[in-house]
Amino acid sequence: MSTNEAPYKFSIPDFRYSQSAEHLGFKGIFVDRPDQVAQAWEAAFAADRPVVVEAYTDPEVPPLPPHITLKQAQAFASTLIKGDPREWRVIQETAKELVADLMPQPELTTDLRSPDSQTS
């Protein structure tokens, strides 16, 4: 094992956790586009029961805090330099995320509530 490999590996089964939550009586919300995130959280916080928010994400986009410090950015960069095999893609996606955070965001209009919870 090289020094860059994780000491263990595991995989998570590929199934819809949000659907499983619905079968258990929870509210399940599935998000697969960035423009759905805000409304998913709004629906989750407004729910009258426990909620599972399932987000389909790109594993090569690190979840950076909204206000990363220079020291944190340097630590993040140093981990990539040490040999992450996907480092260039991670750097590209991180840069896109940082630029998107600086740009004005459009108002969201997607309604993520389940059809049975919507009123006419």
**The pLDDT of residue 47 is above 90:** yes
Could you tell me the two tokens for 97?
Answer: 């995320």
Q: What are the tens digits of pLDDT across the range 80-97?
A: 767 666 677 776 777 677
Q: Is residue 116 part of a domain?
A: no
Q: Is residue 112 part of a domain?
A: no
Handedness of CA 23, 14, 51, 115 (dihedral sign): negative
- State the pTM of this model: 0.49
Residue-level pLDDT at 120: 45
Q: How far is CA 66 from CA 20, 37, 55, 85, 100, in A?
A: 31, 15, 18, 25, 11
**The pLDDT of residue 109 is above 80:** no
Residue-level pLDDT at 68: 74
Specify the range with the lowest mean pLDDT, choosing from 28-32, 52-56, 72-76, 86-90.
86-90
Q: Is residue 52 part of a domain?
A: yes
| 88 and 67 co-located in one domain | yes
